Amino acid sequence: MFDAVISRANMVIPGLFSTLELYCKTRYNSSVLETLVNKPELIVDALKDLYSNTDVARFIIRELLIKPLVTTSNKRINVDELLNLLFEKPDEFKKLVTAFIDPA
């Protein structure tokens, strides 16, 4: 599933996913998608630090990470609701994302 997300993300904003990947590997010792799933608040913090703008961070997370993740999932999830969860209740975001990428 993650390969499909990466492929879609690279089509949306070429090069940015690789930059974020390097940032997360260096700073958090995990991939962008692992960080998004396991410690979602760190992705928000990283993008706010890099761009000094919450709106830009929201756009990038929506288009580069959440939208491709939802698109490759077979679950019906509203992208904007998931984005709002990430920014407002990262623990609930984590539970929801974990459930739909790894249904047990």
Reference 62, options 16, 22, 3, 95; nearest CA is 16
Number of domains forming the structure of the chain: 1
Helix (H, G, I), strand (E, B) or coil at 64: helix
Query: What residue numbers bound the domain in which 83 lies?
Result: 2-101
Query: Which pLDDT belongs to residue 102?
Result: 66
Helix (H, G, I), strand (E, B) or coil at 14: coil
In this model, does residue 45 exceed pLDDT 80?
Answer: yes
Query: Which pLDDT belongs to residue 74?
Result: 75
pTM: 0.85
